Amino acid sequence: MTASTLRRMTPRRRDEPHRAATPLELLFDLCFVVAVAQAGSRLVHALAEDHAGHGAAGYVFTFFGIWWAWMNFSWFASAYDTDDVPYRVATLVQIAGVLVFAAGVPSAFDRSDWLISVIGYVIMRLALTFQWLRAARAANGPARRTALVYAAGVVACQLGWVGLLWVPAGRWQPVCFVVLIVAELSVPLLAERGHTTPWHPEHIAERYGLFTLIVLGETVSAATLAVQSALDEHDALDRLLPIAAGGLLIVFAAWWIYFAVPIHGHLRSNRQAIPWGYGHYAVFASAAAIGAGIEVSVEQAVGATRLDVTAASAAVTVPTAVYLLTLWLLHARHYKRGPLQQAVLPVTSVAVLAVTFTGRAAVPCAGVICALAVAVGVTLAARTGEGPSDEEEAGAEAEE
């Protein structure tokens, strides 16, 4: 692909045919693997040391930074990707910021020292602000106002994150963090009032699907390394194989359920897309946390942690249940027909939580339950038909 030297940053068409993720977007996603791995490894360490409260809080905050940086780039690119030289260079700067942010995850997670991570965000935000100002320059009327509000909102929030560095670690820092998260989430809501950026439904659905694959892939990688490390130091194959098999079934079911139906028909406007897009924070974070939980279960099985077997099992079953329930709320329920289909994932979530207390059988049992949920879902779909209804498809076409 050859990039033009300079193009006017005009909006892309929402009905553009064959709109797919670009190689540059795929490279951008791959750089987030480092950040996701860093957050996951710190969560493993915290849980293994029986610091679940600190680990959960650190993971929630650091993963928000990862997810929000990815979201900012992905939605802007869906609407304004010109693929010219300035756009590519600005994306390179954002990639550099991602890597700096990832380098700061351990200190932020362990000591609430956000300096390096905030520097990474400053780098990313400089490039993103430049992109929004380019879009504003090429626009007029409501579109120009939207781009300028985005640029101003990004700068204002980033100044807030810089100011957070002077807030002493303690009870006020988490409060300030929550305030800044609310401010960040409010920027798109304010900017898009009166004018919607022309994001592409199929492109956005694909981008989210690709990031889901990334976090699930990181889960597989983390679990594999944990089992390999345990086998190198301990003779515990009989205890590790059930955990590995259960983890694999959970990941495969997570993939199957997410991609069972195309979601782009549901994303007809910001009214559907913003809750769906924001809610994916829980989908991504829980999917990545499953891998951390499997690592903790492996460590518990070989006696490398002080956790009891119930706590180690909960590290897998809780994020699995959160993933399934959130995916049903945001994604799957829109194409389920009848009470039986609607009940499959909520019931599965409860069943997965229930097996937490079955001792060493918890992880393999959770995997079997997830596999059965897929089998039941496939059977019900074959009997009743699953997918967008005629009314939903007509609504999507009318919106476009």
Q: What is the pLDDT of residues 85-141, one digit of tens each?
A: 999 999 999 999 999 999 999 998 888 889 999 999 999 999 999 999 999 999 889
Beta carbons of 244 and 227 less than 8 angstroms apart: yes
Which amino acid is located at 166 in the chain? W
- Name the residue ranges covered by the structural domains of the chain: 23-191, 201-399
Angle value at C-alpha 137, between 136 and 138, nearest 5 degrees: 90
Q: What is the pLDDT of residues 360-387, one digit of tens each?
A: 999 999 999 999 999 998 888 877 655 4
Beta carbons of 14 and 200 less than 8 angstroms apart: yes
Q: What is the per-residue DSSP string for 362-392? A: HHHHHHHHHHHHHHHHHHHHHHH--S--HHH
Nearest to 215 by CA among 66, 108, 23, 1: 66
Q: Which of the four pLDDT bands, split at 50, 70 and 90, describes residue 339?
A: confident
Residue 224 CB contacts under 8 Å (≥ 6 apart), including other chains: none
Beta carbons of 3 and 84 less than 8 angstroms apart: yes
Angle between helices 23-48 and 201-233 (to 10 degrees): 40
Nearest to 279 by CA among 266, 291, 295: 266
Q: What is the pLDDT of residues 134-182, one digit of tens each?
A: 999 998 899 999 999 999 999 999 999 999 999 887 778 889 999 999 9
CA distances from 145 to 78, 148, 153, 375 (A): 19, 5, 12, 49
> What is the SS3 assignment for 339?
helix
Which amino acid is located at 233 in the chain? E
Nearest to 152 by CA among 173, 183, 182, 175: 183
- The per-residue pLDDT for 392 is 45
Q: Which of the four pLDDT bands, split at 50, 70 and 90, describes residue 400?
A: very low
Beta carbons of 296 and 223 less than 8 angstroms apart: no
d(CA 3, CA 23): 12
Q: Which of the four pLDDT bands, split at 50, 70 and 90, describes residue 398?
A: very low
Q: What is the pLDDT of residues 217-243, one digit of tens each?
A: 888 887 787 777 777 766 777 888 889
High-pLDDT (> 90) share of the chain, %: 62
Residue given tokens 């932020």 in the structure block? 108
What is the third-level CATH fold of 201-399? Answer: I/LWEQ domain (1.20.1410)
For the chain, give the mean pLDDT. 89
Residue 271: is its pLDDT beyond 70? Answer: yes
HSE, side-chain direction, 13 A CA sphere, residue 225: 12
Structure tokens belonging to residue 248: 């694999």
Mean pLDDT of 241-256: 92
